[in-house]
Amino acid sequence: MARCMLAATEKGPSVMILLAAVLLAASILDAQPHAFESAETCALCHATLRDETGQVPLWSGSMMAYSARDPYWKAKLRFEAGTTPAAAALIEDTCLRCHAPMQQYPLRATGQRLRLDDLNALGSEGASCTVCHQITGEGLGTVRSFEGGFTINPDREIHGPHPDPFFRPMLMHSRYMPLENRTIVQSELCATCHTVITPVLDAKGEVRGQFIEQAPYLEWLLSDAPRRGRTCQSCHVPVLKDRSGNARAAYIAHTPHGGYFPPTSPRTPFGLHSLSGGNVPMLGLMAELFPDEAAVLGAGRKRTASMLQGALGLDVSVEADPEGQVRVLVQLTNRTGHKLPTGFPGRRLWLHFTVKDETDRTVFESGGWDRQTGEITRGAQPHYEVIDQPDQVMIYETQMEDVNGVPTASLIRTARFRKDNRLLPSGFDAGRDLPSGIEAARIAPVGVSADTNFGPGSDRVEYRLDLAEPGQYRVTVSACFQSIKPSDVLAMDPRQSREETVFTGLFARHNQPSVLATRETTVSVR
């Protein structure tokens, strides 16, 4: 405690005032056991900021706030536990490390495992404020920090990026001491829960190896984003800006009555706690499941859709000869700092390509989907460089297989990807260093070696058409995204658990893809 007080600036309070503050803080903190607090505690001073910048309301509309109530995650957890019952306790506790950290973290010291059925109100709040803002720098960026291997400081210190925080209101109200600690704006902090390396289990629950299930942080390390000064927070906790695109200062807290504390002033940069990702359908699904929270989920869904649409660049050009041979070149550019899509392996991006004649009749279509099930009508596909048949579909995704090379929908049974052609981030270089113990080859693309157009930051797909009939044709290309493959949901058994029953019923009404971008052009055949 003395360490933080002595860090005050020369213009700060006198030694006697500092000493009094030290004694006050010590008396408050020493009387409190280590604990997390609900976001409601933080909301008293971090909710009603102007211009919709309040940290708690923004977080409340993100998947972070629903990490322990996400109905797909709960159904998937039951599915995985049902697939390998001998490891059910291990599977549930491992997932709850990040999905319900405020309840699971204190149990680690006792060796006790948390089960899904034992979630309480604090655990159900998900990845809340006092988790991320209490993580220390200990071991961050190393393998031991992954899968929720973070360390929470034992002194009830709340870390933020700004120097000399006005500590008294927070200390008195929440019994936390605010301190400057720039760990909170480092990608390594996000990596603790967004790098998932799971054991590969066989049917008996015996470990047969390790599988890198989710690796956005590792993908970021191999990209050029770190060298450009771009972190996870650069996009997911974006800086508040004015209309000219310059960082704008704002108050980071308010009084319980809505005013501002007299000793404080606007700070810059101000991070917007939107924490948006790409899970647009899930936010809509949860608005149905939690109708009382539909407004905040709707706002979060709108922000997420905006982020998702900015993730991809899509360009289309056409070449045609007099005989009606047409080449349509589709260029995709990954604008993120990781693979696209990244994270959970069930996500996929694909191209819906159509050509229509002057009567609006479809003469060629690739990538259509069933409007009831949400499933791509042509099923599983390899990676393509050239598409010339309607039953060929360009899908950027992962496909998984078990230790015997058999396709599987179970993450805990997956030994490797049999296909991984997700778009690489700019500057992706497998020759760069990763944390000790991880080889870059383990997150390299799979099944794309023959495609010379697939590379760091982009891919080009060529569609070849034979349009023999003269006329003008309209070419439309849409980039479609799903955060959940319908086939993965089909693998679930609603009879196995209540969670699978609830989710499969909801998904039937929320299974349609999001459209990231659409481009249209015309081609004339004489």
Confidence of residue 525 (pLDDT cuts 50, 70, 90): confident
pLDDT more than 70, % of the chain: 94
14-23 pLDDT, tens digit each: 544 444 454 4
Cβ–Cβ under 8 Å, residues 396 and 341: yes
Q: How far apart are CA 479 and CA 63, in angstroms?
A: 23
Confidence of residue 34 (pLDDT cuts 50, 70, 90): low
Neighbours of 59 (CB within 10 A): 25
Closest CA to 395 of 447, 335, 444, 355: 447
Q: How far apart are CA 22 and CA 440, in angstroms?
A: 48
Arithmetic mean of pLDDT, 155-164: 96
Per-residue pLDDT at 10 exceeds 80: no
244-287 pLDDT, tens digit each: 999 999 999 999 988 999 999 999 999 999 999 999 999 999 99
pLDDT at residue 173 in the model: 92
Tokens of 71: 């109905």
Confidence of residue 510 (pLDDT cuts 50, 70, 90): very high
Per-residue pLDDT at 228 exceeds 90: yes
Lowest mean pLDDT among 1-10, 161-170, 442-451: 1-10
Peptide bond before residue 161 is cis, with ω within 30 degrees of 0: no
pLDDT at residue 52 in the model: 85
What does the buried/exposed string (b/e) look like for 321-331 if buried means 16 or more CB atoms within 10 Å of the residue's CB? Answer: eeebebbbebe
468-495 pLDDT, tens digit each: 888 899 999 999 999 999 999 999 999 9
pLDDT at residue 171 in the model: 95
The average confidence (pLDDT) of the chain is 91
Peptide bond before residue 341 is cis, with ω within 30 degrees of 0: yes
What does the buried/exposed string (b/e) look like for 22-43 if buried means 16 or more CB atoms within 10 Å of the residue's CB? Answer: eeebeebbeeeeeebbebebbb
The residue count of the chain comes to 526
Per-residue pLDDT at 364 exceeds 50: yes
Arithmetic mean of pLDDT, 417-436: 96
CA distances from 512 to 277, 313, 374 (A): 18, 22, 5
Confidence of residue 206 (pLDDT cuts 50, 70, 90): confident
Confidence of residue 526 (pLDDT cuts 50, 70, 90): confident
Cβ–Cβ under 8 Å, residues 424 and 334: yes
pLDDT at residue 321 in the model: 83
Cβ–Cβ under 8 Å, residues 77 and 499: yes
Residue 169 φ/ψ, nearest 5 degrees: -60, -45
Tokens of 94: 């491992």
Arithmetic mean of pLDDT, 165-187: 95
pLDDT at residue 377 in the model: 83
Per-residue pLDDT at 8 exceeds 90: no
Confidence of residue 324 (pLDDT cuts 50, 70, 90): confident
SS (H, E, C) 48-116: CCHHHCCHHHHHHCCHHHHCCCCHHHHHHHHHHHHHCHHHHHHHHHHHHHHHCHHHHHHHHHHCCCCCH
Q: How far apart are CA 318 and CA 466, in angstroms?
A: 13
Q: List, in order, residues 6 or more apart from 379 with CB less than 8 Å away.
A: none
As a whole number of Å, the end-to-end CA separation of the chain is: 81
Confidence of residue 3 (pLDDT cuts 50, 70, 90): very low
